[in-house]
Amino acid sequence: SAEVLGELRDLLGEIESRTPRGLVIVSDKPNGFIAGADISEFTRFTDTGDARRAIRAGQGIMDRIESLPFPTVAMIHGFCLGGGLELALACRYRVAEDEPGTRLGLPEVLLGIHPGFGGTVRTVRTVGAPAGMDLMLSGRTLSARAARRVGLIDHAAPRRHLRTAARSLILNPPAVQRPPWSARAAGHALLRPWLARYLRRKVAAKVPKEHYPAPYALIELWERHAGEPRRMIEAEADSAARLLLTRTASNLVRVFFLRERLKAAGRVDGHDPRHVHVVGGGIMGGDIAAWCALQGLRVTVQETDRDNLGRAVARAHELYRKRLKRRRLIQAAMDRLIPDLRGDGAAHADVVIEAIFEDVEAKSALFRDLVPRMKPDALLATNTSGIPLETLAQTLEAPERLVGLHFFNPVAKMLLVEVVSGPRTAPEVTARAAAFAHRIDRLPLPVKSAPGFLINRILMPYLLEAVTLESEGVPGAWIDRAAVRFGMPMGPIELADTVGLDVCLSVAGILAERLGGEVPERLRELVAAGRLGRKSGRGFYEYPKGKPVKPQPDKARTPPG
């Protein structure tokens, strides 16, 4: 915050007058070094002049740290993000605690801006252009070991050795490490345009410039000024100030605060589940189970179809291979995921999640069999995408026990989980369900039981209108392209295939029954033909290798608009 920067500025004045042997910067906070700027201050700027002055003030403090005539060490534990990492990069050396909770990164691009306290210069200077630009453009975070491998820090050490490592760097300061020659060469004036073009193509494949200007501004900043550090820092302030006042940054900051509110909804003490039992080994059930096991929980998957179980386990292994990488960790996650043909795990689970197909009678019959075998204090949840909880709760002796945990497909990528309360759901049950969602690193969104809940109530009219357009002869590829150009991450036709056309049909039927409207006949036809979307290999599009093959419309036709 501005207050903290002001305090740091005053302390630097005292330190500069003393000329000590060295300086170690360490945080007294138990959860991390510095988690970044005070994002609430982003909203107070009304013109670029004010924003630029604030940024230049921060740059000046970092420059003073960098210019100190004695060794400086940033001793990092926990989160070191954004402005925190920029401060660490201003130090001559960096040591970080080699623990799972240590994360280093520059996530500003996720808020619609880029580093502004000299980070664009110092990151590239420290690790080279390829790794430095990738870190800033992706917004991803690194573990201490990964940061050491790319040269972002000098040492990754256990907590008990951290002070010793910092002291050693002060008393016996080595030469400042530099990136390898090949990484430095990428920033040469002759090669910069080539790398800049490559980076633009890479960014353009993910986000359009008109909706996400920050990564493009960062690339232009580096391409034009990388050879002139002082000029680049000034240009960095100009660019960051302009970005702060864009609608994109304003909206992304708003999304950040909304996420923080949802995270807070899941912070409930006293609920620490160890065992999850998932009933249903299809796409949703299997992937929910796989995700829970990835998060360190013991998971039993109840499914009578051995082929479904086999496919669920195979998808889980692929997820773990991509996320965990190390064979030991992959095997540990696989060991936590236990196929359960008879459903014996229900008797021992702390959380039981029903994730079978969308049919009231089938779910009700399952609950009649399942509930008597559960622990009295176990959480009972349904993954229904639209059936009212009061309908499902009618078969239960204790309807206050039932809560909705509505995951979205693909489970591993969709952060949001709707925590659905029925008219008789007990408040403590809702709180425990939100805490469980938080425990498995999802964002719990509390909603009331209503047709379509919240997300599908908003989403389904959009998807159904796209289906109607397609049935009227507008090629799906045109519809999707128009939506992506508008700013959607995925077109509605491909999204319907991803959600599952059977799920779309079920939710559309519920909404039509309760709220009126029509279900497109085209949707019924595709589901009846077994074309359920990505999960079945065919929907509106075909998915031979998991990616859509979109038929190209006749070039003689002109897309509308």
How far is CA 6 from each of CA 2, 21, 43, 327, 452, rounded to the nearest angstrom?
A: 6, 24, 19, 48, 50
Shortest CA distance to 243 belongs to which of 220, 212, 197, 219? 212
Query: Distance between CA atoms of 529 and 193, rounded to whole angstroms?
Result: 51
Bond preceding residue 372 cis, omega within 30 of 0: no
Greatest distance between any 2 Cα atoms in the chain = 80
Q: Enumerate the β-bridge partners of residue 279.
A: 302, 354
Strands 23-26 and 72-76: what pairing? parallel
Reading the block at residue 70, the tokens are 């004695």
Neighbours of 36 (CB within 10 A): 19
- Three-class SS state of 211: coil
Instruction: Note the helical H segments in 227-300.
Output: 229-244, 247-265, 283-294
Query: Distance between CA atoms of 223 and 209, rounded to whole angstroms?
Result: 17
Interior CA angle at 331 toward 326 and 336, to 5°?
Answer: 130
* Cβ contacts of 230 within 8 Å, gap of 6 or more: none
Which value, in Å, is the radius of gyration of the alpha carbons in the chain? 27
Q: Are 122 and 187 in contact (CB under 8 A)?
A: no
What are the strands, taking DSSP E only, across 135-263?
141-142, 155-157
Q: Are 71 and 98 in contact (CB under 8 A)?
A: no
Query: Distance between CA atoms of 488 and 467, rounded to whole angstroms?
Result: 17
Residues assigned a catalytic role: 406
- Three-class SS state of 474: coil
Distance, first Cα to last Cα, the chain: 46
Strands 103-105 and 141-142: what pairing? antiparallel
What percent helix, strand, coil does the chain show, rounded to 5? 55, 15, 35
Shortest CA distance to 385 belongs to which of 413, 417, 412, 415? 417
Reading the block at residue 521, the tokens are 């006949």
Shortest CA distance to 88 belongs to which of 153, 11, 168? 153
Shortest CA distance to 308 belongs to which of 279, 346, 344? 279
